[in-house]
Structure formats: C-alpha cells, structure tokens
Amino acid sequence: MTFEVTILGSSSATPIFNRNPSSQLLNINEHFYLIDCGEGTQLQLLRYGLKAQRINHIFISHLHGDHYLGLVGLLSSLHLNGRTKPMYVFGPAALQEIIEVQFRHSETELRYPLIFQAINPEQSGQIFENSDIKIESIILNHRISCTGFKFIQKKRLRKAIKEKVEALNIPKEFIPSLKRGLDYVDNAGMVHKALELTMEPDKPRCYAYCSDTLCSWKYLDNIKDVDTLYHEATFMHDMLERATETYHTTALQAAEVAKAAGARQLLIGHFSARYRDLIPLLDESRTVFTNTQLAIEGQTFSL
Amino acid sequence: MTFEVTILGSSSATPIFNRNPSSQLLNINEHFYLIDCGEGTQLQLLRYGLKAQRINHIFISHLHGDHYLGLVGLLSSLHLNGRTKPMYVFGPAALQEIIEVQFRHSETELRYPLIFQAINPEQSGQIFENSDIKIESIILNHRISCTGFKFIQKKRLRKAIKEKVEALNIPKEFIPSLKRGLDYVDNAGMVHKALELTMEPDKPRCYAYCSDTLCSWKYLDNIKDVDTLYHEATFMHDMLERATETYHTTALQAAEVAKAAGARQLLIGHFSARYRDLIPLLDESRTVFTNTQLAIEGQTFSL
C-alpha cells in the first residue's frame, strides 16, 4: 500500500529563497490528503504535476497565514475546473468564517459540497477514519490554537504465501477469504488452514505532522512509536530564546522529540527566512537523531 | 521621470502554465504602486528581485480571488519583516472585512498603519493624488463590482536648456526657480528670461488598467487618450459568446477599445487557462491595433 508524503512548502512565516509556505501532500493507497495549504500551494501542485482534483481531504493546523492562505484559491480553482465530488476540510472553527466571507463577497457558489469539520483545539482525538487509515489530532503549543495530525494505517489483511497457494492451485477468487482467515476446502474435501497459507501482514505504519509548536513533552504520548515524524525546526539551537518566545522549535529539539518518541525517521521543515543554507540545521539535528531528512520542496518520502 | 510597469501575473481565474494570477507593479518616479495582488504576488516580487517594502499603495480592482488572494500574505510578510511606515490599500468596501477577519483570527496586530480606502463602485473619479500623479477609478462591467484605475502624471516643470544655462554660468541653485518660471538676474544686473532658458516639459503620460470587464464603450470616456492601456483579453474572438456570458473581453475587442480610445500602446493580459500559446491572441489583437504587447510576467514596459 502506498504511504508517502510529497513536500510542497517548507518555509516559515515569510516565503524566501524559492521556499514556499507549509503544505504537504500525503498519498495513502492512492487517496490524497493535503496537510496545510500555504499561499501558492495550488501553484506548487501544478509545478510538480500533482492533480489537485484527486485531493478529497484537507487538514489545516492553525490560522497563521503561512499555513492556510492558499486554501481559498485552491478551493476556487477546483470549482472553476468543474469539480462535483465533495471536499472535506478539517481545521480551526474560525476557518469556516474565513472561507465563507470570501466566497460570499466573490459571489461564488461552489459546484461541489464543501464539508467543513471544526477541530477541537483542546482535546486530541480521532477526527477521521476510512478503510485505510485513522487520523488523530494532536494538541500543539503555539501562539494561537494549533493542532498536529497523526495518520495511522489500519491493520492490513494477512498476506497469501504465493508458493503454497500456487502449489495447491487455489483459484484466485478464494484468496480474499483466505486473507480474512477462512480455511480453504479443496475438491477432495480436504481442509487447508488459512493461517498456514498466509503470513502476518506488513506492520501498519504511522506518520505524524507537528507544526507549529513550542517544543514540549506534552504531545509525546500522541506521537509515541510513529514511523515518520515531521517536526518543525524553525531555528538552530543557538536561537533557542527566539524559538521559545515565538513558540517554535529548534533543530536540536526536534531531534530530541523524535528520539524520545522512538521514531524511525524525522523530517524537519518550517525553516526560518534567516537560513539560506539548510545543511547546518540538518547537521544539528543529526547529532541527536541520525535519520533526519530536510523536508525539501518537491521531494517525496516513503513513510 | 520613471513611469513603467512590471507584470507580476497575467493568468485569469485559475493559474496554469507557470502563469500567475493578476498583479502589476507600477514605478512612478521611484514610488511603487501595486495593482491587484493575486495569490503568489509576494513570491513573484521575490522572483524578480523587487522590494515589497518599497510599495506604499495597493489598488484592488475587485473581489474575485485571482485579483486579491495574495494581499493578506503580502501585508503579513511586510509586518513580519519590520515595516513601520503606513500602507494605503484601495479596494471594494468588503475587502476591509476580508482583511480584518483574517488578522483577527491569526491574532496579528500589524506594526504599521494599514489605511484602507473603500472605492465607490458606482462612480468613477479621483481616488488619490500626490506631487507626481493623480489616480482615478474607472467603473467596469463585471459579474461583481469592479473598477479599473487610471494613473495620470501631473504636468512637469519646464526643462532647463543645458547649453544656454552653461553659457551664462548660472549656478545650480538657481535652476529650480528657473524651471518654475522665475527670471535669472546675473551679477551685472542683467535679466535673462526664464522662458528663453527653458523648454516645454515632457507631455504628462497616462496609464489605464482595465481588468476584468465585459467589453463596452461605457468606460471609453475614462480612458480617452491614455498613452498605454492595459486591457484584459481573456479569450480569442471565436469565444465571444463565452466572453460575454462570463463578463470578459476578447483580444479583438481589447484592440478595438484601444483604437477607439486613441491609445499609443496596448498591453493585453488575464489569459484564459485554455491558451498555452499566447501568440494567437497577440496576432488577433494586432489585426486591429498594431502596437499590442502581451503582458508577460517579469517584463517591464515603459509607459
């Protein structure tokens, strides 16, 4: 099952050095989820040849402009390009007012249903579920209410053992029930145990997105044992004071969070405009957590 | 006196083919005026090395997203980058609500004064004046209230005739009064007529911006004898029906307007997403008005 993220923007508050504000496109089993939608996100999707119409769910972490100012433009373009299927938007309650006031004054009546779901800013918890995944909100600690998101794959069906299935000439149509645990009875009436013809499925994977936040252990329980953690790393650690007063995290702190959470991989992003070269942030993070990657725009990471 | 425009975006409603939504930067005597501010305008300014902090006046034609969705991001970045001098924003009355609701929810208190001036959507007229120019609104005819803008240079002072001034050894500090028409009296008490030592100033120039609108003769009086006319040309003329029903103009019609207005130069823009190649629009316009140019992003036109 595909489980990967493409970075569309990794700049903090002000765009600079060709870095765009925050946005990521998550592909889970060919279903597309957009996380944050900074200004220019629809242009970034075009740049990387990603089809905006395939997105059905959008998650906005908070109402600082660099995380949502591209939303109304994207929703509007989807409308103009003929969308009819629903779009689900999750975000702070006030986002609904921001969207509505703009569509009201532009006299836009969307051709597709826009289903808005306000996220509780005070209580982490499940906000979405389908056959592939569950999504949970994570309460972060920023200047204004801000939530992260955790995307948790569901436990998959067991996998058929190819050699055994072929040796018994089991017809294809029996494979799904075999995966679900139903034994196979052959033409001679002999029972073949499903458990012996199948093996454990891949371990369900988990991706957490944490931006923007003051580094804290408060959300550690929410991201325990994630496979990949995206964590903001706005500053280098020599700017700790500035990071703290602006409710942001340093590259070193992000690595400490990833280590404490037991993550397998760390992506850092939301880089301050003061850093043209990002390698020092990467190096700093790797002193604590080796498997750190920079969330560079246009790059896709397997999760 | 510098009088030029740099195109930042020339796409119609949906951005495509690396074309950004509408925005233009006007340089009048090293004062900078932004006309419309589609999504990504601040990124376009960065791309072309234009300093956003030098802009003091912003003019928004109407509240379709492709003409203003970059405004809150730009105003926010100016704030974060330390601006203290005032910014004047002219636009439809409802734009103020759109700006305020977003700054309220992001808990942004701008460090600089934001002075908003609502434009009367029913009456053309002067909306701004300084020592260089007057600016007038132009009532256009779009699906929602929409105004164009006319930038009119003021009559300049007369120009000193270099050879005559040098021949008489007239000290530099007397030149400004000479330009204003005061005669020069030399040490011997001899009077030299200012009119003879100076010549007629350059003819004041005029730039009009008309986007978006159904083509009509109603605004012709407002753009009579402009030097350069920017006029939207969303479609080719074979799409006249579509242009009419969406309250837009064809390339042929834009040329007819420029011709009837007696313009010297026509810039066409606001190109529909259906045109990857813009040359056919240029060719069509030139069949009626030879001095047509495509408003291509990153290009600067002397006005």
Residues of B in contact with A80 (CB under 8 A): 13-14
Q: What is the 3-state secondary structure (H, E, C) of B124-181?
A: CEEEEECCCEEEEEEECCCCCCCEEEEEEECCCCCEECHHHHHHCCCCHHHHHHHHCC
Instruction: Pick A105's closest partner by Cβ from B42, B63, B80.
Output: B63
Residue A15: the pLDDT is 74
A219 and A208 in a common domain = yes
**Tens of pLDDT, residues B142-197:** 999 999 999 999 988 888 999 999 998 898 888 888 888 899 998 889 999 999 99
B168 and B121 in a common domain = no
Nearest Cα of chain A lies from the Cα of B100 at a distance, in angstroms, of 10
Q: Do B69 and A107 touch (CB under 8 A)?
A: no
Q: Which residue of A has its CA nearest to B20?
A: A43
B38 and B106 in a common domain = yes
Q: Within 10 A of B114 (CB to CB), how many other CB atoms are there? A: 17
Give the Cα separation of A36 and A89 in Å (integer): 10
Residue B76: the pLDDT is 97
Tokens of A173: 């149509």
Residue A72: the pLDDT is 98
B208 and B187 in a common domain = no
Provide the CB-side half-sphere exposure for B102 (13 A, CA).
Answer: 28
B187 and B128 in a common domain = no
Residues of A in contact with B144 (CB under 8 A): 105-107
Q: What ipTM was predicted for this assembly?
A: 0.88
The question of whether B66 is a catalytic residue gets the answer yes
Residue B139: the pLDDT is 97
Give the Cα separation of B260 and A147 in Å (integer): 57
A189 and A148 in a common domain = no
Does A195 contact B at CB distance below 8 Å? no
Question: Out of B36, B66, B212, B227, which one is annotated catalytic?
Answer: B66
| Mean per-residue pLDDT, B23-27 | 98
* Closest to A24 measured CA to CA, from A124, A145, A153, A148: A148
Residues of A in contact with B63 (CB under 8 A): 102, 105-106
A242 and A166 in a common domain = no
* Closest to A17 measured CA to CA, from A231, A271, A243: A271
A36 and A118 in a common domain = yes
Last residue of a domain, one of B175, B199, B223: B199
C-alpha A42: how far from chain center: 17
Query: What confidence tier does B15 reach under pLDDT thresholds 50, 70, 90?
Result: confident
CB A23 within 8 A of CB A12: no
Give the Cα separation of B90 and B87 in Å (integer): 10
pTM over 0.80: yes
What's chain B's Rg over C-alpha atoms?
A: 22
Does B9 contact A at CB distance below 8 Å? no
Residue A52: the pLDDT is 97
Looking at residue A136, its amino acid is E
Looking at residue B115, its amino acid is I
B92 and B223 in a common domain = yes
Residue with tokens 């926010």: B76
Q: How many domains does chain A have?
A: 2
Query: What confidence tier does B198 reach under pLDDT thresholds 50, 70, 90?
Result: very high
B184 and B58 in a common domain = no
Q: Which domain holds residue A192?
A: 159-199
A132 and A55 in a common domain = yes
Q: Do A65 and B107 touch (CB under 8 A)?
A: no
Angle, helix A71-80 to helix A94-105, in steps of 10 degrees: 50
Give the Cα separation of A43 and B276 in Å (integer): 16
- Please provide the size of chain A in residues: 303
What's chain A's Rg over C-alpha atoms?
A: 22
> Which stretches of chain A drop beneath a pLDDT of 50?
none
Is the pLDDT confidence value at B285 over 80?
yes
Tokens of B163: 């050879």
Q: Do B143 and A13 touch (CB under 8 A)?
A: no
Last residue of a domain, one of B168, B199, B230: B199
B221 and B181 in a common domain = no
Whole-number average pLDDT of chain A: 94
Cβ neighbours of residue B119 closer than 8 Å, sequence gap 6 or more: B90, B91, B92, B93, B127, B137, B147
Give the Cα separation of B37 and A176 in Å (integer): 55
Cβ neighbours of residue A207 closer than 8 Å, sequence gap 6 or more: A3, A5, A26, A150, A151, A226, A227, A228, A229, A230, A303
**Tens of pLDDT, residues A101-158:** 999 999 999 999 999 999 999 999 999 999 999 999 999 999 999 999 999 999 888 8
Residue B96: the pLDDT is 98
